[in-house]
A and B are shown apart, each in its own frame.
Chain A
């Protein structure tokens, strides 16, 4: 079976771990995230009739106290950028993290998701900003870890893009 390493990136408390929890049956404690900055999960998906084992590196949220370690990104076949729709700052963090990821692992497929779609009315990230992301070539999905919306689609989309890499999946900036 094909294995792929993918990283969950995003600002602090944007819902990365919640998304992963919705996707996998967890084995390890969150405690590792706060100690060494990452916890690794596993999930098997089927893409184009091929089984793929996704090794999800759920990285600690990037904030002023802790930066994402480049070394955790190395070897990734793709990554997911997670933003919190209710906090615009998380979009800026995602932009910075994307730059870091591109610098570290190169032009590998990635997918972005704006979390907390269940409280869309409270969003600070505007449609205009979202459109700008799409113009940069970012695939932008919407989801709610709380309701489980868009979670399966998020990972399957990334797995599909990793299986069929295309120029659109990389940042053109």
Chain B
């Protein structure tokens, strides 16, 4: 390959002077060196044109990134702003795609966080509920009131066996905080400063006791808190724990730190102060946020308390029932003692059964009815009453009522020792009352001037008459009022005779003056009687009253005497007849 065709070119003669030899030589050279000539032309072009071809760069780009990335952080530093800008632009342009991409990561984390929060809340709620009514709970309620803390928090603190409240992941060499998690209720100071101070304290202790770098402060305790430190090769975990943690928790710390070292070894080795990569340790650290509460009640205690509660409730209920029954019994006894005609001599009660013994005047109030009225079960009350004759003044009227048996239309009242009878009664009953009244114990006199007998009523009815205008059979308004009075008297009469077996016969007799013919006057008289009857029919009487109509017999005689005005009337004639007729209102 020493024969470079280009090298001989300057020595070649001008083309116009080519000889046959030269043409042959050129042809031969072309035939022999054509492939190499092509390659040489390509190489020359690439050397002359140093621009980078994307296709060629794409072949080596991944390897180039890897080589430079191992060498230093320059590549990351250069790319970071572009990646950030690109990510921001992508979020603005298509947030949905970003959400879809990170959803598989975020969902479990969010779910876990919500689950933890709900579990913590339910635990707190249940704890508070369980303790709210116990003696211990009342004591803690006082403490909550005294300290100003929420009751749920006081319960939680007293029933807490242990709770990891904070977990720090700290870079061992620098003491810088890599990540930090905490429970919601924990009081968190500046975690970065705490990380530094924790690291300083470790160094101080190690230096003070001449310990080697491998020997570390394992834990320290302050009041209710214990700080556990789990050392790793590049980072350490510091867990702030309230209460007394079990030894198994240390294993969990160790496992979490081991996993973090395994998964983030590059970030730990090359840590330069940027803690962003360690956000991925969130789940590991949250796994260390463990808590355990002692059960509020020993096993079986809750059942005992439930039983005690039931017994107490039943006792209270039964006691209330018994109290109410006893109150009713006491009230009944009081009423019995106050009741005229009842003398209570013995009262006993035991286990829901009651016994009463005494004297009872049969005309007095019925004691068994009083038991029912008091709301007591009659089967639980045993009453033994002996009859006696009571002289209580309150019973005189009752006694008189019992002896005299007055009709419903008679009312008996007492004015001192005087029996006063008012109302309507038959003449027979009035005679009987006058005979017996003075024999009723407690009554020395009687007064019956307020009594109205059937004779009195009949007399008043028969005095009534209805006046008509000349030639008219219409009852005028002024006369209707008089008829209303007659109707009321008839009702009283009906009532007073209804029990005596007699009937009231009322005759309405119409009459007319001498004016007109006789036949006309007779018709007019009858029409006037019928008009009165029609009005009386509108009134309601008892079944002992019968009303008839007729013509007054003395019409002509009065006409001859010139008593024309007195003849335009309808008169009433009430009589009592033995009960031999049915109830009817008849017209002749």
Instruction: List chain A positions with a Cβ less than 8 A from chain B.
Output: 1-5, 27-28, 32, 36-42, 52-53, 55, 57, 69, 71-72, 74-77
Contact = CB atoms under 8 A, between A and B. Distances in A.
Given A55-B176, A76-B174, A4 B273 contact: yes
B279 to A, nearest CB: 12
Interface stretch (B20-28, B58-66, B201-209): B201-209
Nearest to B176: A3
Contacts of B196: 5, 40, 42, 55, 57
Contact of B174 (A5, A28, A36): A5
A82 B200 CA distance: 21
A2 B204 contact: no
Given A3-B176, A3-B192, A5-B176, A69 B197 contact: no
Interface residues of B, number: 22
A69 B193 contact: no
Contact of B193 (A27, A37, A74, A77): A27
A75 B171 contact: yes
A36 B204 contact: yes
Contact of B197 (A32, A75, A76): A32
A41 B192 CA distance: 9
Contacts of A1: 275
A2 to B, nearest CB: 5
30 contacts: A3-B177, A3-B192, A3-B273, A3-B275, A5-B174, A5-B176, A5-B196, A27-B189, A28-B193, A32-B197, A36-B204, A40-B175, A40-B193, A40-B200, A42-B192, A42-B193, A53-B192, A57-B175, A57-B196, A69-B204, A71-B206, A71-B207, A74-B173, A74-B174, A74-B203, A75-B171, A75-B173, A76-B174, A77-B174, A77-B273
B456 interface: no
A72 B202 CA distance: 10
A16 to B, nearest CB: 15
A146 to B, nearest CB: 25
Interface in B192-224: 192-193, 196-197, 200-201, 203-204, 206-207
Top 6 closest pairs, chain A to chain B, by CB: A75-B174, A40-B196, A71-B203, A75-B173, A36-B204, A3-B273
A77 to B, nearest CB: 7
Nearest to B213: A71
Contacts of B294: none
A32 B204 CA distance: 11
Contacts, number: 73
A44 B413 CA distance: 109
A32 B196 CA distance: 12
A36 to B, nearest CB: 4
A39 B175 CA distance: 13
Interface string B175-199: 1110000000000011011001100
Contacts of B171: 75
B373 interface: no
Contact of A28 (B176, B177, B197, B275): B197
B207 A27 contact: no
B42 interface: no
Contact of B200 (A4, A27, A36, A76): A36
Given A53-B192, A76-B174, 12 more contacts: A2-B274, A5-B176, A5-B196, A32-B197, A36-B204, A52-B273, A57-B200, A71-B204, A71-B206, A71-B207, A75-B171, A77-B272
Contact of B175 (A27, A36, A41, A75): A75
A1 B276 CA distance: 7
Nearest to A5: B174
A2 B197 contact: no
Interface in B275-303: 275
B200 A72 contact: yes
Contacts of A3: 174, 176-177, 192, 273-275
B200 A55 contact: no
A55 to B, nearest CB: 5
A32 B207 CA distance: 16
Interface in B537-569: none
A72 B203 contact: yes
A5 B171 CA distance: 11
Nearest to B177: A3
B198 to A, nearest CB: 9
Contact of A55 (B189, B192, B203, B207): B192
Nearest to A70: B207
Contacts of B174: 3, 5, 55, 74-77
Contacts of A72: 200, 203
A10 B173 CA distance: 22
B173 A27 contact: no
A76 B173 CA distance: 9
A57 B204 CA distance: 13
Contacts of A4: 273
Contacts of A74: 173-174, 203
Contacts of B274: 2-3
A41 B387 CA distance: 106
Contacts of A53: 192
A73 to B, nearest CB: 10
B273 A40 contact: no
A1 B177 CA distance: 11
A33 B285 CA distance: 31
A27 B176 contact: no
Contacts of B192: 3, 42, 53, 55
Nearest to B208: A36
Nearest to B172: A75
A124 to B, nearest CB: 32
Interface in B393-410: none
Given A55-B175, A71-B207, A77-B273, A36 B201 contact: yes
A76 B272 CA distance: 10
B203 A40 contact: no
